[in-house]
């Protein structure tokens, strides 16, 4: 048989979904594992969303193709969400409703990056960005952050070449939990303006922030024409499986590009769920805002617990400012790289994510998702403590 596409030789399967499939299989086969590797909230579907689903299900229809970027009323609903939840003012035509934020990231990268173009990734980074840049023929240029996982502006400036087209920024960050300050983002926009670069700002964790001010790219003057913001409902409403995401930009050429690619890929996003978003925006805005905040509060309790427990076990880290990940160093005395440590812990009943999945320089790190119940976290900490102590002696 002839070889399959060369693209398959260039890109890799997401290590995160690959590793998760392995953990799930082990659990199905009866292994007692606490899965702190997954990047998804563990909460029930919010009541306001369940009620919206019921209301939409009772009406007939919604079974035909929709306009590629979404029903006009869905795009209007997103305007309302942005105004009421994030205080950002957009027009309906600025939005494209997508199958999860992941599709919005893919379409945005495809709209900007082509053969020979470079995109800057701020590391540690979510691995999908890298694979998508390669998929569209581009090259990733990785810029490491400072020790506290905040941006190193000088390094960022040095990474720019004549081929650079975009900077991808993710705040709150997966995996580091860093929330970039307004000043950092202003610097980034200044650099983008000076070098005529686009900015893809992935803000999927923007409602999960702990005690620091959150700044969206939408708040930064001068970013309007060169930025795309990615967001959705997977993480804030705990509905990862529903695939509710979107891209928003004030640059209509970008939106046209995204629509052009999407029209040939998925055509449109699930019509039924588009209507659910409308239902919530029309009738349940306050309720969903309340429920999202309740989930954030629960994440904060878990963050406090996991951060202090792991610090007591000598896992050095900066306390997360947002998202639901603890990004920590593997204690040196264990003398293990990230994959070895995670394999070791998997045998001891806790699934963690190796730091190497988030960039070459991070083999000394692990990512712990605290999107798991407090009782799971208690048990996981016990198992980590026991495993680490057994290794030391």
Residues that bind ligand PLP in the complex, under the rule CB under 6 A: 39, 100-102, 105, 126, 170, 174, 202, 204, 232, 234, 240, 245
Q: Least distance (Å) from ligand PLP to the CB of residue 202? A: 5
Compare residues 56 and 230 and give the one whose CB is closer to ligand PLP.
230
User: Which one, of 266, 198, 253, 206, lies nearest residue 231 by Cα?
Assistant: 206
Q: Are 125 and 358 in contact (CB under 8 A)?
A: yes
Compare residues 210 and 387 and give the one whose CB is closer to ligand PLP.
210
Q: Least distance (Å) from ligand PLP to the CB of residue 243? A: 7
Residue 175, by phi and psi: left (phi above 0), alpha (psi -120 to 50) or beta?
alpha
Angle at 88 between CA 174 and CA 66, to 5 degrees: 85
For residue 242, the tally of other CB atoms under 10 A from its CB is 20
Q: Least distance (Å) from ligand PLP to the CB of residue 242? A: 9
365 by DSSP, 3-state: which?
A: strand
Backbone angles phi, psi at 327, to 5 degrees: -110, 105
Q: Least distance (Å) from ligand PLP to the CB of residue 179? A: 13
For 30, 183, 370, the CA distances from 378, given in Å and listed in that order, are: 21, 37, 11
Compare residues 81 and 126 and give the one whose CB is closer to ligand PLP.
126
Compare residues 218 and 381 and give the one whose CB is closer to ligand PLP.
218
Q: Least distance (Å) from ligand PLP to the CB of residue 178? A: 12
Q: Least distance (Å) from ligand PLP to the CB of residue 302? A: 17
For 35, 81, 193, 211, 342, the CA distances from 215, given in Å and listed in that order, are: 31, 17, 19, 13, 33
Compare residues 174 and 309 and give the one whose CB is closer to ligand PLP.
174
Q: Least distance (Å) from ligand PLP to the CB of residue 235? A: 7
Quickly list DSSP for 198-247. EEEEE-TTTT-B-SS----GGGSTT-GGGEEEEEESTTTTT-GGG-EEEE
Compare residues 368 and 387 and give the one whose CB is closer to ligand PLP.
368
Compare residues 133 and 381 and give the one whose CB is closer to ligand PLP.
133
Q: Exposed e or buried b for every residue in 6-24, given b needs 16+ CB within 10 A? A: eeeeeeeebbbeebbeebe
């Amino acid at each position: 048989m002839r070889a399959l596409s060369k693209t398959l030789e260039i890109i890799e399967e997401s290590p995160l979904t690959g590793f998760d499939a392995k953990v799930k299989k082990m659990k199905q086969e009866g292994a007692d594992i606490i899965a702190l590797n997954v990047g998804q909230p563990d909460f029930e579907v919010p009541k306001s969303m369940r009620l919206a689903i019921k209301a939409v299900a009772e009406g007939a229809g919604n079974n035909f193709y929709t306009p590629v970027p979404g029903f006009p009323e869905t795009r209007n609903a997103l305007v309302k969400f942005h105004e009421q939840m994030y205080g950002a003012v957009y027009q309906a035509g600025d939005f494209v409703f997508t199958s999860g934020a992941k599709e919005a990231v893919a379409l945005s990268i495809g709209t900007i990056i082509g053969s020979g173009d470079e995109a800057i990734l701020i590391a540690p980074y979510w691995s999908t960005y890298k694979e998508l840049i390669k998929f569209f023929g581009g090259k990733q240029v990785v810029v490491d952050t400072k020790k506290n996982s905040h941006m190193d502006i000088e390094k960022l400036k040095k990474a720019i070449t004549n081929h650079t087209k975009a900077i991808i920024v993710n705040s709150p960050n997966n995996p580091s939990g860093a929330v970039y300050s307004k000043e950092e983002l202003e610097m980034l926009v200044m650099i983008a303006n000076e070098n005529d670069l686009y900015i893809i700002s992935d803000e999927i964790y923007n409602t999960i922030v702990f005690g620091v001010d959150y700044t969206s790219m939408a708040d930064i003057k001068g970013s309007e024409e060169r930025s795309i913001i990615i967001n959705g409902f997977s993480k804030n409403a705990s509905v990862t499986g529903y695939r509710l995401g979107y891209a928003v930009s004030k640059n209509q050429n970008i939106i046209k590009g995204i629509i052009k690619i999407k029209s040939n890929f998925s055509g449109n996003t699930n019509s039924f769920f588009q209507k659910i978003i409308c239902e919530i925006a029309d009738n349940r805005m306050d309720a969903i805002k309340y429920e999202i905040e309740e989930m954030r509060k629960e994440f904060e309790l878990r963050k406090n617990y996991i951060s202090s427990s792991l610090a007591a076990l000598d896992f050095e880290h900066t306390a997360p400012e947002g998202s639901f990940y603890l990004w920590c160093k593997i204690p040196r005395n264990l003398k293990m790289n990230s994959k070895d440590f995670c394999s070791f812990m998997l045998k001891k009943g806790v699934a963690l994510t190796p730091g190497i999945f988030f960039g070459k320089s991070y083999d000394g790190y692990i990512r712990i998702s605290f999107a798991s119940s407090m009782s799971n976290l208690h048990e996981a900490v016990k198992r980590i403590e026991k495993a680490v102590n057994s290794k030391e002696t």
